[in-house]
Amino acid sequence: MHQQSTLFIDSSAAPTSPSYFAPSPKQHKQRRSVTSFASRQSRHSSSSSSENEDDDDDSIVNRPSLHQILINQGRGQYTLDNFGAFLQSQFCYENLAFWLASRQYKLCAQSLFQSVQSSAPMFTLHSDTAHHLNQSQSRAFSDLQIKMRAILETFVLPSSPHELNLSDAVRCRLLRSVAEGDYHPQVLEQARESIMDLMKCSSYPMFLETVAAKRASNAGSSQSTSSSSTQQDSHHSDGSSGSWRNKAKHHFKLVSKMLKRNP
């Protein structure tokens, strides 16, 4: 990371206002009424009764969007695990791993930012404003910086283990911002959007076609054969998903050890 210090700041990559963050989960919980539980129970009951019907309908209208898959709201075979296994088979699962890592980073940054606002309102997730933090808050900010370095060293830096297919402009702007001490999650947004567009144009439609073809093949078989095939596909999918997740966990453990050796 020492090479980044030679980069110049890019004013266009400055963080946005604190309103960039969505309301915290705690704020949402405070607004929930006593009747919300009954409402959720009713929705769950109705959704469960129609889930099988929705799974049988594989029309284009009922297929989940890419964003729904990424937040694991897809039904049937359109799950996040299956999408990750498919990306691994296409040798491009780093796109999904980066999207999930950047999303998790945003949640961590949001939590830190909101927790220090009352005592350190001048803190902006920039290292130049870190002197406003107390000792425990400074440790939390250091942990956030380590998370950002792990993302850069895993996905963004040239020749990184899972280097993303980013344009030079997007890559350099991100590295410049962090080199100048900016740890606001907004600095990842352009790279995140680029990867989202890449998945939307290539991996996502291929995944939909693969799932649709498998479902059509199963539907054309006899009931017993279809049932057996579905179970086999389910077991195969679980194994692929596990392989993908285990590989990602193993790699991030190596990155974590590297960061501890080189703080």
Buried b / exposed e over 9-33, threshold 16 CB at 10 Å, is ebeebebeeeebbeeeeeeeeeeee
DSSP codes of every residue in the chain: -GGGGGSPP-GGG----GGGSPPPHHHHHHT--TTHHHHHHHHHHHHHHHHHHHHH---GGGSPPHHHHHTT---TT--HHHHHHHHHHTT-THHHHHHHHHHHHHHHHHHHHHHHTTT-TT--SBGGGGGGS-HHHHHHHHHHHHHHHHHIIIIISTT-TT-----HHHHHHHHHHHHTTB--GGGGHHHHHHHHHHIIIIIHHHHHHHHHHHHHHHHTS-HHHHHHHHHHHHHHHHHHHHHHHHHHHHHHHHHHHHHHH--
pLDDT tens digit sequence for 141-198: 999 999 999 999 999 999 999 999 999 999 999 999 999 999 999 999 999 999 999 9
User: What is the model's pLDDT at position 1?
Assistant: 39
Q: CA-to-CA distance for 42 and 39, rounded, in angstroms?
A: 5
What global pTM score does this model have? 0.65
User: What is the model's pLDDT at position 62?
Assistant: 75
pLDDT tens digit sequence for 214-228: 888 877 764 555 445
User: What is the model's pLDDT at position 41?
Assistant: 46
User: What is the model's pLDDT at position 177?
Assistant: 97
User: What is the model's pLDDT at position 246?
Assistant: 61
The third-level CATH classification (topology) of the domain covering 66-217+249-260 is Regulator of G-protein Signalling 4; domain 2 (1.10.167)
Instruction: Name the stretches of the chain with pLDDT < 70.
Output: 1-61, 221-263
